[in-house]
Amino acid sequence: MRDPRRPGQVLGVIALHRGVLASSGDYLRCVEQGGQRYHHVIDPRTGYPSRGAHGVTLLAERAADVNGLGAAAMVLDDNAARTLFELMPGVQALIVRRDGSLWSSPGLRLQVLPAAGLPLASG
């Protein structure tokens, strides 16, 4: 999975044998203007880009289980996003918070093989 803090590098690798992996983030589809990053995940309360997490990666059995959850977590504050995933035992999550720290659900923590700092393969 790509590192939202350093999009040219890998944050970790997950050996996926079944299920789906989905990621949402504010680091690829964005523009910076006047020191402010504008991206495509919109907070419906404000009509502006979300100010929550930089990136969210989700693991579940079916795509329907995670559809829209990454973007929803990016709109929520850290505590609300963590609570959301604690209430969904079938969905594992890794959140890269706005301050750069990481939070992961216990099930995902066991499955991520650290690869931080590795460059992404091109092509």
Angle formed at CA 120 by CA 51 and CA 91, multiple of 5 degrees: 50
In a domain, 51, yes or no: yes
Has residue 6 been placed in a domain? yes
pLDDT of residue 121: 47
Please give the pLDDT value at position 2.
76
Report yes or no on 23 lying in a domain. Answer: yes
pLDDT, tens digit (0-9, with 9 covering 90-100), for 27-63: 777 788 887 778 888 999 999 888 888 889 999 999 9
Residue 122 lies in a domain: no
- pTM of the model as a whole: 0.81
Look at residue 27 and give its three-state secondary structure: coil
In this structure, what CATH number is given to the domain that contains residue 104?
Answer: 3.10.520.10
Give the pLDDT score at 75: 94
Domain containing residue 25: 2-115
pLDDT, one tens digit per residue, over 57-109 is 999 999 999 999 999 999 998 899 999 999 998 999 999 988 888 898 888 76
Q: Residue 122: pLDDT above 90?
A: no
What is the count of structural domains for the chain?
1
